[in-house]
Chain A
């Protein structure tokens, strides 16, 4: 079977949707982890509270993975028979991957900053954890919207 440029472009889109938010989440979760470790040195009892905050910027990586997965499913990579995509189709898939790829990368880091500040809240006033979570979740909204855009585009593109 001959490999078309369209297939390459689609797969490139899927790869970007996975690795860019993945990088963002890895960096974000790491940042919050560092801050959390500092707080836990003083008070080990705050582990579970800080863990919740650390988990928050991790979702972008998951959103990216699932977008990549939807691409793989749509182009038939998982079933074993890759569709013979035209260059234009490939570009469409690539474009659909962009929202979550880029917003995922940047929002994970921005969200991690808010979560690090939330760790500061937990250090001084652990009863106000929910507010720290909310500040961080405000940022995630945009990752969710980007995911929604990417997924709706992917479902909307006609490939067969």
Chain B
């Protein structure tokens, strides 16, 4: 329970055994290799090997991602990742050449695709340009100068076209302008003129910013050109389809690629650790972290490989950077995600999960607090746990929602809320809508319990570190003072309460300034410390959200029911009513489950963790069989 104790391991062995030793350790997955401090630069050989591995991995990754849409692999969320045996994975090395041929082919496909794409874009642009000229029914190669006559295709900005035509008429030049169509911004026309008028015509062009269109590189009428371009587009699409078919034929090699990727990934993980070791020509020294309960299995794994090693296990020193691994009862494990998302405990404090879990459980349910919602939440989560192959954080989160659903169900029964007011079942305790003050006091009471737990854990931490006096003065006196104040608030100024509060206050004034040097400062900072009582007060008031969010769920559910019932006037209305109810309540569950998760986390982070928790731990990351695509069998 709590944080697993770590042992520091020093390991001396022969370099010729190193590969096999690392392999055995990776299979075991219980050793985190640490940097040896006295070590110089990592060996150049390993560094180059690593960068080669990196580039191979990048290429493989690209090929896998490229091929993925073409393969029909079952969704790993529903069916789990493909299984692969370690033996088969090792055999795959012999096929390295073949596999990289596939990767090269895939790079080739990618290039062909991008060439086609570029051509397609160019053609689309040309079509856009030429299509408006469809009305011009002469071949474009006959444009230009024919003896004395010039034939030009011109484009005039639309707003200039009418004045342009007027001017042409007015000037009475040997010039004929025949409109042939319009593009988006320009009017298009064919201009025919005698070359004696060339300079006048060019003058006109300039005045009305007309441009001539040359159709360089094309032959035939514009309509023909467009037709031809469109044919080419179809050909491009056909070629693309052909490539896709070729790729699809490769898709069954996807598993090979993935397997090889994972093989290289495992190798990379081993190689990276080589850089952390110190070595001479023949031997190496390695420093590593091993969970105390895995020490025996590590010894076993190593001795199965070689005898020529020397291992020392020792307790970590004061200033060691110890990695953190947690071990909690199965029921508490889902709650670890709440702490992990905040910060792992640092290796020298207590694991808060066990103490936090019950509060999170109670608060989550109280904020959703509808029995039917709880059932839905739990059933959906159970379905997800059962049907989906979840792992890691996702699994913990769904399990957390499952437990939250149970808590929600219990609180729903206590408050008599079943889909809001839809199903009327007598509450086990009371309906918070009728007596919100009672629930508000309950919320505050729960808050006081959690804050006291936090203070006591803080005292425990001090005592564990041998600071009994600090525990008594910093936490014990506060507990005394706060308890006195609470009793005064509840029972009035009775004798005991008054003396407890006074004794606590006096103690705090006398002790809280003890780190100060001068007598006056000791006294003033002691006096000022009493001001902290406001922070405890605001902490407690913060728990009023337990009531508020619970009320919100109930009232929104009632709103949904009322709106839905208004629809139930005829058959169509009844159908609409059922749809509104299902949709509305699902929405309400989603919003309130999110709200409950966020706000119960917040109560842990701010009000609870603030009292005793430091965090800042570094997760234990052992060398292990960490694959990206496959699940390994027979480890």
Q: Is B341's CB under 8 angstroms from A129's CB?
A: yes
Asked if A141 and B552 make an inter-chain contact with CB atoms under 8 angstroms apart, the answer reads no
| Contact present for A148 and B547 (CB under 8 Å) | yes
Residues of A118-155 whose CB lies within 8 A of B: 129-131, 133-134, 137-138, 140-141, 144-145, 147-148, 151-152, 155
Q: A103 within 8 Å of B by Cβ? A: no
Q: How far in angstroms is the closest Cβ of chain B from A144?
A: 5
A144-B548, A148-B548 known; A69+B598 contact, CB < 8 A: no
Residues on A with C-beta less than 8 A from B605 are 134
Alpha-carbon gap, A69 to B547, bound state (A): 18
Contact B594 A55 (CB under 8 A): yes
Contact B595 A69 (CB under 8 A): no
Q: Which residues of B contact A140 (CB under 8 A)?
A: 598-599
* Residue-wise interface mask of B (537-574) relative to A, using a CB-CB cutoff of 8 A (1 in contact, 0 not): 00001101101110110011011001000000000000
**Bound CA–CA A137/B545 (angstroms):** 12
Interface-facing stretch out of A37-45, A58-66, A83-91: A58-66
Chain B contacts for A148, CB-based, 8 A: 440, 544-545, 547-548, 551
Chain A residues in 8 Å Cβ range of B551: 147-148, 151
Q: Within A85-131, which residues are at the interface with B (CB < 8 Å)?
A: 129-131
Contact of B591 with A by CB under 8 A: yes
* Interface residue B144 (Cβ < 8 Å from any Cβ of A): no
Please give, as numbers and ranges, the residues of chain A lying within 8 Å of B562 by CB-CB distance. Answer: 69, 78
Query: Quick one: given A59-B591, A145-B544, A151-B548, are A130 and B559 in contact (CB under 8 Å)?
Result: no
What is the bound-complex CA distance between A148 and B606, given in angstroms?
Answer: 20
Contact present for B591 and A141 (CB under 8 Å): no
User: Which residues of chain A are within 8 angstroms of B541 by Cβ–Cβ distance?
Assistant: 145
Q: Are B599 and A137 in contact (CB under 8 A)?
A: yes
Say how far B610's CB is from chain A's closest CB, in angstroms: 12
The listed residue with most A CB atoms (<10 A of its CB), out of B342, B433, B548, is B548
Among B437, B545, B594, which residue has its beta carbon within 8 angstroms of that of A52? B594
Which residues on the A side are within 8 Å of B602 (C-beta)?
134, 137-138, 141
CA distance A81 to B224 in the complex (A): 77
CB distance from B306 to the nearest CB of A (A): 39
Q: Which of these, A65, A70, A133, contacts B598 with CB under 8 Å?
A: A133
Q: Is B353 an interface residue (CB 8 A)?
A: no
Question: A15 — which chain B residues lie within 8 A by C-beta?
Answer: none
The number of chain A residues with a CB under 8 A from chain B is: 29
Contact between chains at A66 and B601 (CB < 8 Å): no
Please provide the chain B residues from 177 to 194 with a CB less than 8 Å away from any CB of chain A in the complex.
none
Q: Is the interface of B mostly helix, strand, loop or mixed?
A: helix
Contact partners of A59 in chain B: CB under 8 A: 591, 595
- Which one, A69, A144, A145, contacts B555 given CB within 8 A? A69
Residue A56 at the chain B interface, CB threshold 8 Å? yes
For B595, what are the chain A residues with a Cβ–Cβ distance below 8 Å? 59
Q: Report whether B341 and A62 are in contact in the complex, using a CB–CB cutoff of 8 Å.
A: no
Set of chain A residues within 8 Å of B342, measured between Cβ atoms: 130-131, 134
The answer, yes or no, to whether B358 is at the interface (CB within 8 Å) is no
For A134, what are the chain B residues with a Cβ–Cβ distance below 8 Å? 342, 598, 601-602, 605-606
* Residue contact A66 to B552, C-beta cutoff 8 Å: yes
**Which residues of A sit under 8 angstroms from B559, Cβ to Cβ?**
65-66, 69
A62 pairs with B591, CB closer than 8 A:
yes
Q: How far is the CB of B135 from chain A (nearest CB, A)?
A: 42
B587-602 with Cβ < 8 A to chain A = 591, 594-595, 598-599, 601-602
For the complex formed, measure the closest distance between the CB of A6 and the CB atoms of chain B, giving whole angstroms. 23
**Is A147 touching B601 in the complex (CB atoms < 8 A)?**
no
* B440-453 vs A, Cβ < 8 Å mask (1 yes, 0 no): 10000000000000
Inter-subunit contact B552/A63 (CB<8 Å): yes
Q: How far is the CB of A160 from chain B (nearest CB, A)?
A: 15
Q: Which A residue sits closest to B545, measured CB to CB?
A: A144
- In Å, the complex CA distance between A151 and B558 comes to 15
**Alpha-carbon separation in the docked complex, A155 to B547 (Å):** 14
Q: Is the beta-carbon distance between A144 and B556 smaller than 8 angstroms?
A: no
Q: Is there an interface contact between A152 and B558, defined as CB atoms closer than 8 Å?
A: no
Q: Is B174 an interface residue (CB 8 A)?
A: no
7 residue pairs, one from A and one from B, having the closest CB atoms? A130-B341, A148-B548, A66-B555, A144-B545, A144-B548, A137-B598, A137-B602
Q: Apart from A134-B606, A141-B542, A151-B436, what are 20 other A-B pairs with CB-CB below 8 Å?
A: A65-B559, A69-B555, A73-B558, A129-B341, A130-B341, A130-B601, A131-B341, A131-B342, A133-B598, A141-B545, A144-B544, A144-B549, A145-B541, A147-B551, A147-B552, A148-B545, A148-B548, A151-B551, A152-B436, A152-B437
27 of the cross-chain contacts (CB-CB < 8 Å) are A52-B594, A56-B598, A62-B591, A65-B556, A66-B552, A66-B556, A66-B559, A69-B558, A69-B559, A69-B562, A70-B555, A129-B341, A130-B342, A131-B342, A133-B601, A134-B598, A138-B606, A141-B545, A144-B544, A144-B545, A145-B545, A147-B551, A148-B544, A148-B548, A151-B436, A151-B551, A155-B436
Which residues of B does A touch, CB under 8 Å?
Answer: 341-342, 433, 436-437, 440, 541-542, 544-545, 547-549, 551-552, 555-556, 558-559, 562, 591, 594-595, 598-599, 601-602, 605-606
